[in-house]
Structure 1
Amino acid sequence: MEKNVCIIGLGYIGLPTAVMFANNGVKVHGVDINEKAVNMIAQKQLHIEENGLQERLERAIDEGYLTVSTEPIEASTYIVAVPSPINPDRTANVEYIRSATAAIVPYLKKGALVILESTVPPKTVENVMLPELRKSGLVLGEELFVSHSPERVIPGRIFEELTNNDRIVGGIDEKSAQMTKELYEAFVKGTIHLTDATTAELVKVMENTYRDVNIAFANELAKIGDKLDVNIWEAVKFANFHPRVNIHSPGPGVGGHCIAVDPWFIVELEPELSKIVKLSRDTNDAMPAYVAEQTKELLQAHTAGGNKIAVLGLSFKGDVDDKRESPAITVIEQLQQREFDVTSFDPHVKEISHPTQKATLEEALAGANIVVIVTDHTEFKQLSPEMIAPHVADRIIFDTKNILDRTEWEAAGFRHRLLGDSKE
């Protein structure tokens, strides 16, 4: 069988992975149920934002190493990279994994390798994928090989991290793991560590849960800093000079498909044994309401009944367009529940995709009584008081990401408030 890869899911992970293989001489066929996305990719247009993706996509298609469609094809390797979201009740939704696996079954041939890249609850390979794959009639571990190799990248730096990060590969047996390792060696320069599938599933969830717990600690400290009249950002910086301390930064909440989701996989599996994990999730999920309440107090204290709020940022992190689980969206919802008039702007979210969203910064700022920064885009770091002042009704700015120079803004007559530092 000719060595080629069929990737199911062409989103924030699947598409970069597809072009990475293609740019390294591996024939790739990408599949997605989103016809619009498939048509855009075929025309070398992006439906997601990622540094370096455009030129890599053009090269992959022009050199004939990448094709796309809405249906799988016969291949030597299948990579499943579809979403694994959280249901409203905080349980994992693995139906995308199940349906993607079922979709490739008719195409499987003897010797094929199936890799799950999606981040999933432990035992998903065993309990969700393998029952579907057995329908192929192929003997697992002898005629059909299966592994889990979770992505470990961050939006905005995906290609750098795909190349240089260590990678975890968990096979249902040693041969499955080894075959997967040999495939990823096409571009991975980091060490590829081999284990079993369930351990690999847990490792990825553990990594993101560690970060979520750390951020929850920082957010608790931010609230304490507000009470003590201490700049918690400065306190964290000093604490991190200790060689064995690494406290993360506070913020308006936690977003993205990983950190805001994966800890719930652990809570769902072992609710009585994951109390710290759940408390951390609840703490971070409560931060948008805390930001909204702090904003309300600022308006009540420093305006004559001001009601208009300009929120800067819609994506979950700086310099990307990804709004999945974004705390910015929840901050807006919390402000609207308090009956404020909210407008928003995000330079990276090109299409108008939220009811409060304005096409330009000036439109969002027009007549605002307070400006609230919830995403640390480079464009927002470069804002100056001179740019903002002509458009707002009141000179009040609430920085939840610590990206502005307080001295500069206060010198220009702005009331500057920093999350985690109640001094104004």
Structure 2
Amino acid sequence: MINVIGLGYIGLPTALMLAAHGWEVVGTDYNQEIVNTLNLGQTTFKEQGLDELFHAAVKAGIRFSEDYMKTDTYILSVATPYDKLSKKIDPQYLIKAMQSVMKVCTKGAIVIIESTVSPGTIDKQIRPIVEAGGFVPGEDIHLVHAPERIIPGNMLYELKHNARTIGADHLNVGEQVKAIYDSFCVGEIIVTDIKTAEMTKVVENTYRDINIAYANELVKICHVDNMDVYEIIRIANRHPRVNILKPGPGVGGHCISVDPWFLVGDYPGLANIILAARRINDSMPEFVLERIHDIMKENGMRDVSRVGLYGLTYKENVDDMRESPTLQMLDCMEKHLCGNLVKIYDPMVKEDVVANQYYDLDTFLGEIDFLVILVGHKEIIDNMHKLKGKVVLDTRNICDLEGTYRL
């Protein structure tokens, strides 16, 4: 039996996929509301194909509980935030989960950590927990790092098709874990050591963060001299060895906006390009606010309450708001005492999150004169004709209406 600990954006799809491919699985989460919802036959977030996978897993016998199981295989998929002052990883949830596992696991158990961690975290934070339980890591209890590589909006495809990295102390244990993932993953699965697996995952997301920062810095440079950054990037990317990513209003999600800080915090004075990239991307919400101010001034607009922000999630067509650039921007606006004046709408967000939040596109558009597109949901792409006559700032380069302002 496999006990999957943490039933969030990573743990739940992993547990369901394993169950649907023949493994006996119990999903565990400390959040009783999540467990109750799943036991009632409902998923806890929206993702293409997730409901169908859920029903297949339930039919195969998956169970959900608040309790940790006594078994020989565990997968830990809990959150690993970072301390915003020290910039170091905050492993508190991972530590608590591991301590709970040690209370019930048996000698010979394999504990697979999917949570993203900074290099050395398993050596510094997890091995001592095993030793404190009276076990010898690598002999009595086998620690493995198998970092997730999926993104909201395309989770199930990536869970099956993306390459995986398995970090283990011993090759034979790595091969055992590889066989688990091999049951559903058609991508290449590489077995290596634990610290290499830790570093590889962080490096992947840091590379993308730096690339986005380059695009965002180009936005600012091109804006000064009235150049079209999107055309410049499009042409530059025709070169066979150039692939500049898209600029935007900031970087969100629980990977690209978080993982680079692990390296900044753990290697101060060495991670200089990484730190610069983080600062550039974190500066984009303020840059968007400056653009809003300048556009309002250019158009003789003074009423902030007639400004509408479209999009609360961190990316298009998902309901995930973690580290959302829009929420970052609203925090900036709060400092200037105007955050509760603008109107906000996101078709993917059904619960109350912020002040002046709307739940119908037409009603929202009827209340504003100036629209700021912060997320490129399919809904707004399909309804561009409704934006005629409005001032539009498009931070995602999706609006083809004449006169649209861009970053």
The CA deviation string for residues 179-233 of structure 1, in whole angstroms up to 9 with x for no partner, is 2112111111111111111110000000000000000000000111211211111
Q: In 1, Cα distance between the equivalents of 2:7 and 2:128?
A: 24
Asked if 1:73 corresponds to 2:95, the answer is no
Please report how far the alpha carbon of residue 18 of structure 1 lies from its aligned counterpart in structure 2 after TM superposition.
Answer: 0.3
Q: Give the conservation status (yes or no) of the 8 Å contact 1:402–1:418.
A: yes
Aligned partner of 1:343 in structure 2 is: 343
Q: In 2, Cα distance between the equivalents of 1:7 and 1:304?
A: 53
Q: In 2, Cα distance between the equivalents of 1:257 and 1:131?
A: 27
Aligned partner of 2:38 in structure 1 is: 41
Secondary structure of the residue aligned to 2:137 is: coil
Q: Give the conservation status (yes or no) of the 8 Å contact 1:170–1:194.
A: yes
The CA deviation string for residues 343-376 of structure 1, in whole angstroms up to 9 with x for no partner, is 1111111212222322222343343231001111
Secondary structure of the residue aligned to 1:29 is: strand
Structure 1 length-normalised TM:
0.92
Aligned partner of 1:27 in structure 2 is: 24
Aligned partner of 2:390 in structure 1 is: 395
Secondary structure of the residue aligned to 1:375 is: coil
Q: In 2, Cα distance between the equivalents of 1:404 and 1:302?
A: 19
Aligned partner of 1:383 in structure 2 is: 383
Q: Which runs of 5+ in 1 are unaligned?
A: 420-424
The CA deviation string for residues 303-354 of structure 1, in whole angstroms up to 9 with x for no partner, is 3423221000000001111111111111223344444421111111121222
Q: In 2, Cα distance between the equivalents of 1:336 and 1:141?
A: 50
Secondary structure of the residue aligned to 1:226 is: helix
- Deviating more after overlay: 314-323 vs 105-114: 105-114
The 5-angstrom pairing of residues 4-403 of structure 1 reads 4-64=1-61, 66-89=62-85, 90-308=87-305, 309-340=307-338, 341-385=341-385, 387-389=386-388, 395-403=390-398
Q: In 1, Cα distance between the equivalents of 2:301 and 2:288?
A: 20
Structure 2 length-normalised TM:
0.96
The CA deviation string for residues 77-132 of structure 1, in whole angstroms up to 9 with x for no partner, is 10000000122313221000100000111211122110000001111111111111
Q: Give the conservation status (yes or no) of the 8 Å contact 2:313–2:320.
A: yes
Secondary structure of the residue aligned to 2:269 is: helix
- Which residue identity does 2:46 align to in structure 1? E
Q: In 2, Cα distance between the equivalents of 1:304 and 1:348?
A: 29
Q: In 1, Cα distance between the equivalents of 2:83 and 2:45?
A: 24
Percent identity, aligned pairs only, is: 38
- Which residue identity does 1:418 align to in structure 2? R
Secondary structure of the residue aligned to 2:347 is: coil
Aligned partner of 1:422 in structure 2 is: none
Secondary structure of the residue aligned to 2:358 is: coil
Q: Give the conservation status (yes or no) of the 8 Å contact 2:168–2:194.
A: yes
Distance 1:339 1:361, change over 3 A: farther
Q: In 2, Cα distance between the equivalents of 1:273 and 1:304?
A: 46
Q: Give the conservation status (yes or no) of the 8 Å contact 2:130–2:136.
A: no
- Which residue identity does 2:143 align to in structure 1? V
Q: In 2, Cα distance between the equivalents of 1:374 and 1:124?
A: 35
The 5-angstrom pairing of residues 384-423 of structure 1 reads 384-385=384-385, 387-389=386-388, 395-405=390-400, 409-410=401-402, 415-419=403-407
The CA deviation string for residues 273-312 of structure 1, in whole angstroms up to 9 with x for no partner, is 1110000000000000000111011111103423221000
Q: In 2, Cα distance between the equivalents of 1:222 and 1:57?
A: 42
Q: Give the conservation status (yes or no) of the 8 Å contact 1:299–1:369.
A: no
Q: Give the conservation status (yes or no) of the 8 Å contact 2:88–2:266.
A: no
Distance 1:335 1:299, change over 3 A: farther
Runs of 4+ in 1 over 6 A off after TM superposition: none
Q: In 1, Cα distance between the equivalents of 2:82 and 2:17?
A: 28
- Deviating more after overlay: 81-90 vs 198-207: 81-90
Aligned residues: 403
